[in-house]
Structure 1
């Protein structure tokens, strides 16, 4: 059972006016362990532990009080309880008080750790050397000396005295190699260390990081995967797995890994942005739009990825055109005059009905995506956005069938490209010319549907102005397209459309 599962039972014991000594003591230990994990109750847990240790060590309590139920509950020994008390003191920042306990219990590793926290390097080194004089072949002491002095020779000595069986020494050497940029050596050392002790999630994560730096993608993926197998709540490892799958063009695996990573790192806009790209790759447009919305929320509309919006727009346009061209499927029950015919056609009629429901479902899904995309685009255009977004907004209005709003958005796109550098930058002129062509085509469509010539005159004036100023781009394909469009507009002006 988890510690919070034990809370009601502990409360039940504490609410009793009297209970056996051993049961009350174990309940206090469980309460201390639970409350020491929370910042608000950590200090209270420390005070309770102090009183508990004093009460258990009190010699005035006789055997008659201690013996009942001592064989029915698991109670730690007094040295184990004092060690736990010392570790709690360290977590609360009272290392000086913990030193006294560890010295009394002769817990040298804990004592050395306290000296390191207190920055008493000389005292730590003196203690380690004193212990080494008594136990020169103890690899843990050599590793502790290496931790204090930052000397790799101590770790190598630990490997020597342990016959290369010290996983801690190999981990320390691997970290040292990683810090100095020797990633290949670090990867080999981490592999060797994890072969000795595989139940170490941080080690697998470090192996993945070293392999990634050494450009060994497969080994990095294996390391991060083993890390999440031991610690499924490691959001950073899930994120790295997803990114590695993206590198290897495995969109489905990356999508699953990103979903796991977002459970633990929901405040990372970079993670949401990558998730959006992978969602588009697997065809999940709804999740991609949700990811864009999250990025806008976190960055206050400052981070706008036009590339993913273009990909989403292409997919939404494709689905909308497919739904528009699909003819509805119906069943004709009148042809089945008798019962035998009805029986013969029953399966086919059911299949057709299912197909019709499926088509209706797809149409509703497409409509939902169109509205969701429009909501995102409206939010972006309300802030400061570029020409690409205005172009996407125009395409969205065209999907909705609103040519007036489409022309206004295209006009804003065209104006966004205009500037002093327009006639000197070939790429910018190309985008400007394409936007102008789309604008004039929409003007022609509006004129054909309404019978108005005002839009044709606007297209004519716009095209004449561009061709006059773009003489330096006369040999480009875009310039020729503009001239062709101008000729078509002139022909329509000579025979203006009739209102329907």
Structure 2
């Protein structure tokens, strides 16, 4: 194969990527075609073995293509490959620094360490893009927050060449797709974005893409949203300042969206700031009718949106416009018309129709529309998600499981979907698969206490006792309490009976860890008798068991009204008997060094028995006569025994 063959295939690949980017929805047909082309390109990488910079660029572009479809695992594969070829190492670390102008205490901040393999030759950013005019990086005009984190310690940071800047940018884009959307993720992305923006020279598309990502992240914070808007305005208004050659350099590797998408982002920022009319003006220019509906709804002029969309239909009717008219008027006939207009080929028509029914909680009715939509276009992740939820709500387990499986294949980093898939599997009686789904959910949300409760129950049912222990500790971390006695009873029973766990291992080996767990739980719940009873069952010696059971007795009788009910009376009598028996046994087994402690325990047990006998005799319940006589007999035996050893 010649370099020319690779070049032709590469540009064919780019044409397919451009085709996909021009569409509003991801296309399963285009994705299948791209998969074939990517396989061929990967096999031809050796043709440009003598041109490693081209190899790196090709891997980057393939990763960008996979990002369009949310295929994060394949993206990571080619990202890692490109990094290895470039000899680039990126690592987040913590060093001391300040975020605010008046911060007195220096605390650890996230920073990015970057290293380049010195044995690999590469042009500097100055050499490759020294003449490129880059858009300005606006300073943060805030009276409290610093524009950039001020580090008080040095960190190893290489001067990144242009292609390595794109690799850093691609890492940001990959993390956005693959990680849960939360404040922690934003903090992790900040050092990567700073590494792309800090070099004075680089490719123009790289700088613009990085600035737009920062704008999107800063739009959600009151101290940075103003800079986000001004920065976005600068990019939108100055896009023609750079030459076309400058704007096209490394364009395919950056994943930079077309200019109209930047303007849409600016309009989104206006809307976020409450500038609804300014946002509406931009949306109207871009003919983004869905966003126009949002703005008119916010302005309480929803009828105006319907009028504008109807005008557009009169000029040039399309499936999308009919669907949006349905959204604006809540008229289901519009979706029917869109479906007919498409000759029964539009996934959008069925999606909007299904969404309308879903939003009105007509879950049974929306299912066939969602199913038809994904039958036409199978890579609509949001439709799969809604289909899974709708089927879950009407207990259609088979459809729900299929939908959630497909969604987690397309978007594997959503913990709610994994959690719901586990719920479906439980209802199908497939708890092993439910367990595996919950383990995936934990990867993406380790701090959700409801998720951990599900993990506890399913892990207990499937014999994953170590995960039960881990779950109890995690719930204690998150809620500072844990009172699920039923789970603890099952766990103790499994350990004491030496039941085999899910992997066929002995459960008795976990006794030390279970004891540590009970130690932690009882330090929080000091008066829970059920917990102390279970803790007593696990005790290594009769003395410790008796001491813990005595605490259970105290917890059970602390209210003082236990003797008013024959059932609770019976329970306390049995507990007192157990305390006396264990205490006597502990004294009989005691070594020389433990005799004093055993004597004290036996004395406390005797007083406990005496108190129970007196309280129960006052009530004179017929139901407790038999067990009371047994307690009296045991009490007499213990008294005689104490006389004999004193």
Q: TM-score range by the shorter chain?
A: 0.7 to 0.9
For the residue of structure 1 that corresponds to 2:216, the secondary structure is: coil
Compared CA separation, residues 460 and 425, structure 1 to 2 (3 A): closer
Of residues 26, 34, 37, the one that matches 2:205 is 26
- What is the CA deviation profile of residues 354-408 of structure 1, one whole-angstrom value per residue up to 9, with x for unaligned ones? xxxxxxx9799435324422332332334xx432123223334456852452343
1:392-411 matched pairs, under 5 angstroms? 392-397=534-539, 402-411=544-553
| 1:244 and 2:424 correspond | yes
For the residue of structure 1 that corresponds to 2:497, the secondary structure is: helix
| 1:140 and 2:320 correspond | yes
- What is the CA deviation profile of residues 241-279 of structure 1, one whole-angstrom value per residue up to 9, with x for unaligned ones? 222233344333222222221222223212112212222
| 1:206 and 2:386 correspond | yes
Compared CA separation, residues 87 and 431, structure 1 to 2 (3 A): farther
Compared CA separation, residues 441 and 245, structure 1 to 2 (3 A): farther
Of residues 322, 347, 350, the one that matches 1:170 is 350
Q: Is the 8 A contact 2:339 2:346 kept in 1?
A: yes
Which structure: greater helix fraction? 1
Compared CA separation, residues 28 and 100, structure 1 to 2 (3 A): farther
> Which residue number in structure 2 is paired with residue 369 of structure 1?
513
> Which residue number in structure 1 is paired with residue 525 of structure 2?
381
For the residue of structure 1 that corresponds to 2:483, the secondary structure is: coil
| Partner Cα separation in structure 1 for residue 460 and residue 585 of structure 2 | 32
Q: Is the 8 A contact 1:393 1:409 kept in 2?
A: no
Which structure: greater strand fraction? 2
Q: Is the 8 A contact 1:204 1:227 kept in 2?
A: yes
1:281-430 matched pairs, under 5 angstroms? 281-301=461-481, 303-319=482-498, 365-382=509-526, 385-397=527-539, 402-416=544-558, 419-420=560-561, 422-424=563-565, 426=567, 428-430=568-570
- CA RMSD in angstroms comes to 4.1
1:52-91 matched pairs, under 5 angstroms? 52-57=235-240, 66-67=244-245, 73-74=251-252, 81-91=258-268
> Which residue number in structure 2 is paired with residue 326 of structure 1?
none
Compared CA separation, residues 448 and 68, structure 1 to 2 (3 A): closer
| Partner Cα separation in structure 2 for residue 68 and residue 489 of structure 1 | 96
> Which residue number in structure 2 is paired with residue 471 of structure 1?
620
Q: Is the 8 A contact 2:267 2:280 kept in 1?
A: no
- What is the CA deviation profile of residues 209-267 of structure 1, one whole-angstrom value per residue up to 9, with x for unaligned ones? 11111111222122211111110011101111222233344333222222221222223
| Partner Cα separation in structure 2 for residue 189 and residue 83 of structure 1 | 32
For the residue of structure 1 that corresponds to 2:621, the secondary structure is: helix
What is the CA distance between 1:281 and its match in structure 2? 2.6
- What is the CA deviation profile of residues 96-118 of structure 1, one whole-angstrom value per residue up to 9, with x for unaligned ones? 44555555566666655655565
What is the CA distance between 1:173 and its match in structure 2? 2.6
> Which residue number in structure 2 is paired with residue 328 of structure 1?
none
Of residues 427, 433, 440, the one that matches 2:580 is 440
Unaligned 5+ runs, structure 1: 323-360
TM-score (norm 1): 0.74
What is the CA distance between 1:192 and its match in structure 2? 1.8
Q: Comparing both chains, which one has the higher relative contact order based on Cα–Cα distances under 8 Å and sequence gaps of 6 or more?
A: 2
TM-score (norm 2): 0.59
What is the CA distance between 1:287 and its match in structure 2? 2.4
For the residue of structure 1 that corresponds to 2:270, the secondary structure is: coil
What is the CA distance between 1:419 and its match in structure 2? 3.7
Compared CA separation, residues 464 and 447, structure 1 to 2 (3 A): farther
For the residue of structure 2 that corresponds to 1:36, the secondary structure is: helix
What is the CA distance between 1:55 and its match in structure 2? 4.4
Q: Is the 8 A contact 1:460 1:490 kept in 2?
A: no
| Partner Cα separation in structure 2 for residue 201 and residue 425 of structure 1 | 59
> Which residue number in structure 2 is paired with residue 343 of structure 1?
none
Compared CA separation, residues 264 and 44, structure 1 to 2 (3 A): same
For the residue of structure 2 that corresponds to 1:153, the secondary structure is: helix
1:147-296 matched pairs, under 5 angstroms? 147-296=327-476
Q: Is the 8 A contact 2:562 2:569 kept in 1?
A: no
> Which residue number in structure 2 is paired with residue 486 of structure 1?
632
> Which residue number in structure 2 is paired with residue 332 of structure 1?
none
Between Structure 1 and Structure 2, how many residues are aligned?
Answer: 444
- What is the CA deviation profile of residues 305-327 of structure 1, one whole-angstrom value per residue up to 9, with x for unaligned ones? 1211222222233349x9xxxxx
| 1:128 and 2:309 correspond | yes
What is the CA distance between 1:497 and its match in structure 2? 8.1
| Partner Cα separation in structure 1 for residue 250 and residue 444 of structure 2 | 40
Compared CA separation, residues 269 and 166, structure 1 to 2 (3 A): same
Compared CA separation, residues 448 and 103, structure 1 to 2 (3 A): closer
| Partner Cα separation in structure 2 for residue 12 and residue 97 of structure 1 | 42
For the residue of structure 2 that corresponds to 1:38, the secondary structure is: helix
| 1:461 and 2:610 correspond | yes
| Partner Cα separation in structure 2 for residue 93 and residue 199 of structure 1 | 31
What is the CA distance between 1:199 and its match in structure 2? 0.8
Q: Is the 8 A contact 2:553 2:572 kept in 1?
A: no
